[in-house]
Structure 1
Amino acid sequence: MRREGRPAPGRVAPRLVDVAEEAGVSLATASRSLSRSVGVSEAVAAHVRAVAEQLGYVANVHARTLAGGRTSVAGLIVYEIGDPYFAEIASGVVRVAGENGWSVQIAHTEREPSAEAEQIRLMRAHRVGAIVLAGSGYVDPVMEHEAGRELAEFEEAGGRVVAVGRHHMRCDAVLPDNEAAGETIAQHLLDLGHRRLAVAAGPAHLTTIADRLQGIRAAVARYGLPPDAVPVAHAPFTREGGRDATRELLDAHPGTTAVLALNDAMATGVLSLLRERGVSVPHGVSVTGFDDIQVAQDLAPALTTVRLPMSEIGAAALDLALRPPSARPRRRATGHELVVRDSTAPPAPRD
């Protein structure tokens, strides 16, 4: 007995024209239904897909590409695939792709704006059906102008684009809750009694950093403290960057009682340098992170941080990309959650 939905041995595999004829639709409608393109009602598309499954039809993606059509492949562009932040976003993109019969092509740019534009051009050449651009935008919009132009041309040609964490691009976007989350993590330390805060921040030209700092300064101002009095050291968004930033902060401000790292990777560097200097955490200096990557709970001490739903962010981005375009760019915000662990405590009494 053969499995339902598979052609019997010896039979010629069904073609797209067979699906169209059996479903009672045109060849173009059958093609759009199976590729989940716009211009077909969901009821008709579902009917065509059901007929295709019954006949055992398998789309010839290669032939479709040669004919000039788009594939059911989503391009995901991230800064660094080895960074847990982007790895978790990628997991959400891959999950939604699998649920919808798509696959994912991943590229990374190492935070180089020119590399973003080049990767977008490569993905356009491979005729991907959608592009998700994940990673912070730039404070100076000129830095992402070339990538923005490539994406606009891709959309004009029928592709779908969604950006994660980009303010300046005119496309659908998922915007992490960076400013509000920065305010929440600073508020936690202020509520514990800390007043001598310092920030180990990532590169100053990223909007993610500007937003997180804006939230921290809003919380500080609410306590009647001068926001600009909180020292900030900028360094790469890495463990070594966290070490370098903390060294700079403690050397210039030895009375610091709490260091806010603006991502969890930097926070591991903060903890490393404090341990090297014999400073107890949290009783000597409290430490916070940002994002809540999986390793945060396994650090010693376990890291107090603010959780952004990275996997859900990736899922939401591709979900938007698979929807028909709207007249105006859509913006989808995410929530955040304070996760209090062992790396924060009230400051030690001063002598």
Structure 2
Amino acid sequence: MARGRTAPRLVDVAERAGVSLATASRALSGREGVSPAVAERVQAVAAELGYVVNAHARSLAGGSASIVGLIVHQIDDPYFSEIAAGVISVAYEHGITVQICHSARDPENELRQIRTLVANNVRAIIVAGSGYVGDEVETAAKRELAAFQDTGGRVAVIGRHALRADAVLPDNEDAGAALAEHLVGLGHRQIAIASGTVNLTTVVDRLAGIERALADHGIDIDDLPLVEAEFTRDGGAYAAERILAEHPGSTAIIALNDAMAIGALATLRAHGVAVPSQMSVVGFDDVTVAADLAPSLTTVRLPMAEMGADALMMALKDPSSRPRRRHTGHELMVRDSSGPVRA
């Protein structure tokens, strides 16, 4: 039965009939790929539960909707721009239009964007970017997206833990460990961290990887300076200013994304601090411009365009009984911004 809801859902029909969501959807919409016996059973269960096929759901399942919504934290952040490029490339191949929404890393604004996309009858919603620590923050978004899926909409997420949907999961923790190992291998022990807001799950995961690698070398992350700032170029510039003023003995900065690393490099240049001979700087993501900076940025590469493409491909597939998960790899890109600790 529908668990505490006023109307039964497609998932209730599927569970009672003992079939997958995809099979239940096909059976009720008269599509091919379901035996007559199974279709009859599913339809009987739907009648017993009082489930009514939503006309909007049929148009979504049949592929007539030609718009998908993409919600990103920061559209001018190259990380999200490259994800969007991957989504758009797949959408173009399927004749689909992408409506891009900007949440500014505000969970309340993200919720408003989700509701707007649902109201616009989009075919699918892709939510890209970190979740937020504390389930209560995402409860409303989870509820809205679940209701959207119950009526035939499709959802895929990138870098989210709590939302029940097909997900592309960046290799944040292991990539963070790779950066820390790289710096420790160069002799650095006085390492400062330029961090985004610590209630972002992406930040939590990246810090966990750094902490794990440092602990393997007897370094306690709690003994290192961590400056929390906006997850942007300006945030990185601010963090570097604080590090120079308050922790002048630092020999390296780990910025938790490339935008922050770029801001840190600008601040160090303005203060006449040579990189990497006086201060090493490493970033995270490997955005397109990272290799073209002066000095070029040491970072870890995540397959951002591929992540966007994979998320939309998931969203275009029939739903499965359990959310699909795809974990990305990572690659350490050693460039000119990191070097041996100064004597």
**Structure 2 match to 1:294:** 288
1:112-261 matches, cutoff 5 A:
112-261=106-255
Shift of the 327–249 alpha-carbon distance from structure 1 to 2, 3 Å rule, reads: same
Contact 2:123 2:154 in 1 (8 A): yes
Give me the whole-angstrom Cα distance separating, in 1, the residues matched to 2:104 and 2:128: 12
CA apart distance, 1:39: 4.3
Identity level (%): 55
Shift of the 253–121 alpha-carbon distance from structure 1 to 2, 3 Å rule, reads: same
- Residues 207-236 of structure 1: per-residue CA shift (max 9 Å, x gap): 000100010111100111223212211100
**Structure 1 match to 2:59:** 69
Shift of the 38–275 alpha-carbon distance from structure 1 to 2, 3 Å rule, reads: farther
Paired residue for 1:346, among 318, 326, 340?
340
**Structure 2 match to 1:278:** 272
Give me the whole-angstrom Cα distance separating, in 2, the residues matched to 1:222 and 1:132: 37
CA apart distance, 1:66: 8.9
Give me the whole-angstrom Cα distance separating, in 2, the residues matched to 1:340 and 1:249: 23
In the alignment, residue 225 of structure 1 is paired with which amino acid?
Answer: I
Contact 1:77 1:106 in 2 (8 A): yes
TM-score normalised by L of structure 2: 0.82
Pair 1:307 & 2:297 matched: no
Pair 1:100 & 2:90 matched: no
Partner-residue secondary structure (3-state), 2:145: helix
**Structure 1 match to 2:42:** none
Contact 2:275 2:338 in 1 (8 A): yes
Partner-residue secondary structure (3-state), 1:137: coil
**Structure 1 match to 2:10:** none
Give me the whole-angstrom Cα distance separating, in 2, the residues matched to 1:262 and 1:268: 11
Give me the whole-angstrom Cα distance separating, in 1, the residues matched to 2:246 and 2:180: 21
Partner-residue secondary structure (3-state), 2:185: helix
Give me the whole-angstrom Cα distance separating, in 1, the residues matched to 2:217 and 2:322: 39
CA apart distance, 1:307: 0.6
In the alignment, residue 181 of structure 2 is paired with which amino acid?
Answer: Q
Contact 1:69 1:127 in 2 (8 A): no
TM-score normalised by L of structure 1: 0.80
Contact 1:114 1:146 in 2 (8 A): no
**Structure 1 match to 2:83:** 89
Shift of the 108–327 alpha-carbon distance from structure 1 to 2, 3 Å rule, reads: same
Contact 1:306 1:337 in 2 (8 A): yes
Paired residue for 2:331, among 334, 337, 340?
337
- Residues 255-295 of structure 1: per-residue CA shift (max 9 Å, x gap): 10000111111111111111121111000000001111111
Give me the whole-angstrom Cα distance separating, in 2, the residues matched to 1:236 and 1:262: 11
Give me the whole-angstrom Cα distance separating, in 2, the residues matched to 1:39 and 1:279: 66
Contact 2:258 2:286 in 1 (8 A): yes
Please tell me the root mean square deviation across aligned C-alpha atoms, in Å: 2.0
**Structure 2 match to 1:21:** none
- Residues 331-351 of structure 1: per-residue CA shift (max 9 Å, x gap): 1100111111100100111xx
Partner-residue secondary structure (3-state), 1:301: coil
Bigger mean CA deviation after superposition, 145-154 or 305-314: 145-154
Shift of the 221–155 alpha-carbon distance from structure 1 to 2, 3 Å rule, reads: same
Give me the whole-angstrom Cα distance separating, in 1, the residues matched to 2:272 and 2:78: 28
CA apart distance, 1:119: 1.1
In the alignment, residue 59 of structure 2 is paired with which amino acid?
Answer: G
CA apart distance, 1:251: 2.0
Contact 1:197 1:257 in 2 (8 A): yes
Pair 1:323 & 2:317 matched: yes
The count of corresponding residues between Structure 1 and Structure 2 is 293
Give me the whole-angstrom Cα distance separating, in 1, the residues matched to 2:119 and 2:30: 21
CA apart distance, 1:102: 2.0
Give me the whole-angstrom Cα distance separating, in 1, the residues matched to 2:273 and 2:30: 59
Partner-residue secondary structure (3-state), 2:125: strand
Contact 1:38 1:324 in 2 (8 A): no
Partner-residue secondary structure (3-state), 1:69: helix
Extract unaligned runs of 5+ from structure 1. 1-31, 43-64
Give me the whole-angstrom Cα distance separating, in 2, the residues matched to 1:259 and 1:199: 6
Contact 2:194 2:254 in 1 (8 A): yes
Partner-residue secondary structure (3-state), 1:290: coil
